Amino acid sequence: MNVPVNEANQSGSAVVRIEHLTHAYGEHVAVRDLSLEVRQGEIFGFLGPNGSGKTTLFRILCTLIRPSQDQPPTNVRILGMDLLSQREAIRQQIGVVFQYPSLDKQLTADENLRHHGHLYGIRGAELNRRMERLLSRLKLIDRRYEKVGNFSGGMRRRVELAKGLLNQPRVLLLDEPSTGLDPGARIDLWHYLQEIQAHDGVTILMTTHLMDEADKCGRLAIMEKGSLVACDSPATLKSTLGGDVITLSTSDPNRARELIQKNFDIIPEPIDQTLRIQRERGHEFIPALIGALPGLVESVSVGKPTLEDVFIHFTGHRFG
């Protein structure tokens, strides 16, 4: 499969460089011969459904697990450091926010951050300075001495983000950062991430299964069954489809497909009980399409390509 990859990825400014990464759990290959680069200061997303390999990739980049296969030779470098031989050095330069909270709910926000700082050897006035700055920035300063067990999901996520930034990382990795957040908290989270990127120059990598979240990333790697199927900016990925996407629901997909091919020399893409057609100025084509399928059309919609459409285009099935 030819994976569209932005040529700019090949620059020498890569903060993360992955070459021929494979990881298997027994007979199950979770990540298959994956290669890509992440540039300095970008927000880079890994989009995929459960089982796509994005969580395994996240754990590898966090140095929690080692790649299980070295043929062809695997080369993973973060900030120029080799993932296999310089794990401890890498850990000093990255921040990690896991999908599920790692906070002690019986401790205050202040205590959670203070204990985390000690793990990095940060103490005294320097630790206080960093904590003060992060708690103020994330609008938690007035709640710093309250137990996090009393916090909302959005507030806990902000404490997690403060933990991930406490060691002043150059690379921040987030696993499904919006898990459990309501829409308002998700908007706030993205405001903080974009501020971190813009003002601190931190490179942000995240996994997600949410299309709207993926759309906010500067670039996106779409994964399916352990393989990279597409990689570029969301806008560029959507533009590869061209024109509009027409989705047709019909009582007889096979017959409708035959008639569309016969009348318009178009081969629709069958997805479950629907047919998809990519066409310029799709709204103008709808009357002729319905007229060619008497009694077969249950519903029809037309719209600009979405990331869901991109996923379907490259994998042949719906997301999830």
Q: 159-187, pLDDT tens digit by residue?
A: 999 999 999 999 999 999 988 788 888 89
pLDDT band at 101 (very low <50, low <70, confident <90, very high): confident
Q: Is the separation of the CB atoms in 103 and 156 below 8 Å?
A: yes
Q: pLDDT > 70: what percent of the chain? A: 95
Please check the confidence at residue 36 and state whether its pLDDT lies above 80. Answer: yes
Please check the confidence at residue 94 and state whether its pLDDT lies above 90. Answer: yes
Give the length of the chain. 320
Please check the confidence at residue 10 and state whether its pLDDT lies above 70. Answer: no
Q: Is the separation of the CB atoms in 174 and 192 below 8 Å?
A: no
Q: Which two tokens stand for residue 177?
A: 């950062």
Give Cβ neighbours of residue 235 (< 8 Å, ≥ 6 apart): none
Per the prediction, the chain carries an average pLDDT of: 90
Instruction: Answer with the residue of higher pLDDT: 84 or 73.
Output: 84
Average pLDDT over residues 43-71: 91
Q: 251-291, pLDDT tens digit by residue?
A: 899 999 999 999 999 999 888 789 999 888 899 999 999 99
pLDDT band at 141 (very low <50, low <70, confident <90, very high): very high
**Per-residue confidence (pLDDT) for residue 69, from 0 to 100:** 67
pLDDT band at 11 (very low <50, low <70, confident <90, very high): very low
Give the chain's domains with CATH numbers: 242-304 (3.30.70.260)
**Per-residue confidence (pLDDT) for residue 9, from 0 to 100:** 39
pLDDT band at 158 (very low <50, low <70, confident <90, very high): very high
Please check the confidence at residue 13 and state whether its pLDDT lies above 90. Answer: no
Please check the confidence at residue 12 and state whether its pLDDT lies above 50. Answer: no
pTM: predicted TM-score of the whole model, two decimal places: 0.86
**Per-residue confidence (pLDDT) for residue 4, from 0 to 100:** 45
Kindly compute the dihedral angle of the four CA atoms of residues 46, 230, 197, 143, in this order, to the nearest 10 degrees. Answer: -20
Average pLDDT over residues 148-159: 93
Please check the confidence at residue 70 and state whether its pLDDT lies above 90. Answer: no
Q: pLDDT > 90: what percent of the chain? A: 75
Please check the confidence at residue 6 and state whether its pLDDT lies above 70. Answer: no
Q: Residue 73, preceding bond cis, omega within 30 degrees? A: no
Give Cβ neighbours of residue 121 (< 8 Å, ≥ 6 apart): none
Q: Which long-range contacts (CB under 8 A, 24 or more apart) does 142-149 make?
A: 143/109, 144/108, 144/109, 144/110, 145/108, 145/109, 145/110, 146/108, 146/109, 147/105, 147/106, 147/107, 147/108, 148/103, 148/104, 148/105, 148/107, 148/108, 148/109, 148/112, 149/105, 149/106
Three-state DSSP state, 77? strand
